């Protein structure tokens, strides 16, 4: 018998109760938020995704894949009330930002 997966991603920020309710967020990204000292999804709406990306690299001492930055942009925008979009929708924005 197939097990039914009842977990569903939020379609609006006000539906989010835990990090993994947010589109594009899995266990690894939720862990990144813990590393960054972010303990509530509501805190994400007040964050700068580029600053989060830079801080994560500083804290871990590792160069993070650029798609992590794209994910942070997607998550922050969603928690600010934007639509649920896949992380790769923000790749061009990230490239423009870092090209400055």
Please give the pLDDT value at position 4.
47
pLDDT confidence of 7, banded at 50, 70, 90? low
Token pair of 57 as six digits: 């690299």
Distance (Å) of CA 86 to CA 28, 36, 57, 58, 91: 16, 22, 22, 26, 10
Across 18-29, average pLDDT: 98
- Give the pLDDT confidence of 56-69 residue by residue, as tens digits: 999 999 999 999 99
CB under 8 A, 24+ apart: contacts of 8-15:
9/84, 10/84, 11/84, 12/81, 13/45, 13/78, 13/79, 13/80, 13/81
- Give the pLDDT confidence of 35-46 residue by residue, as tens digits: 999 999 999 999
Does residue 5 carry a pLDDT above 90? no
Give the mean pLDDT of the chain. 95
pLDDT confidence of 26, banded at 50, 70, 90? very high
């Amino acid at each position: 018998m197939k097990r039914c997966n009842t977990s569903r991603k939020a379609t609006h920020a006000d539906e989010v109760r835990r990090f993994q309710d947010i589109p594009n967020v899995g266990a690894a990204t939720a862990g990144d938020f813990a590393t960054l000292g972010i303990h509530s999804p509501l805190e994400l709406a007040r964050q700068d995704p580029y600053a989060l990306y830079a801080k994560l690299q500083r804290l871990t001492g590792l160069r993070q894949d650029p798609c992590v930055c794209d994910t942070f942009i997607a998550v922050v925008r969603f928690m600010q009330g934007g639509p649920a979009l896949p992380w790769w929708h923000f790749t061009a924005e990230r490239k423009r930002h870092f090209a400055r």
